[in-house]
Amino acid sequence: MDSERTTLQDQPCTVQITLRINGVDHALDVEPRVSLLDAFREYLHLTGTKKGCNQGACGACTVLCDGERILSCMALAVQYEGAEIVTVEGLASDGILHRLQAAFLEHDGFQCGYCTPGQICSAAGMLGEFRKGLPSAVTADVSSEVMELTDDEISERMSGNLCRCGAYVGIRGAIRQAFEGGLKP
């Protein structure tokens, strides 16, 4: 009986899922415990999304799921079947950088660049939240229909994304420029 248990335990259980990533369906055969981040990097070779802390503390693995930002290291791939997932690779369109990607280049919103994909995806999701009128912890008047995207707002809303190099001034400038429409999509 013990040898049967050992044999069964040695064989990983896999499930078939289809993930829609950057507008393309990907059929995968994965163990149920595979994170969304590992599905990107190890199964699909989409390496733009980075593994920083692998504990949900740094934001390097941030992607968009149905337009909202999530930490892909904390998400199981099997949970996201049927969702529309966008990684940093999917933000550009027809070879043209997304306005946030271009703004990060223009404002030197990076140094080593490791956190940049997560910063950019998080900024895209954050700007969507802001445009919907969702307040943050530093929003001065939560009852106001019009909010101002101040440096404090940007810093608070992006506080889940860490930059070890300290490129926060460039990151805020890039987000502000993209928000104000200084660059086309």
Taking the chain (185 residues) in runs of 10, the rounded mean pLDDT of each run is 54 91 97 97 97 96 97 98 97 95 95 96 96 92 84 96 96 96 54
The per-residue pLDDT for 5 is: 54
Number of H helices, E strands in the chain: 6, 5
The per-residue pLDDT for 146 is: 79
The per-residue pLDDT for 12 is: 75
> Could you tell me the domains of the chain?
14-90 (3.10.20.30), 99-180 (1.10.150.120)
The per-residue pLDDT for 9 is: 61
Strand ranges across the sheet with 62-65: 24-30, 15-21, 84-86, 62-65, 68-71
Q: How far is CA 157 from the centre of its chain?
A: 14
The per-residue pLDDT for 142 is: 83
pTM of the model: 0.90
Name the token pair of 125.
């999701």
The per-residue pLDDT for 82 is: 93
Radius of gyration of the chain (CA): 19
The per-residue pLDDT for 63 is: 98
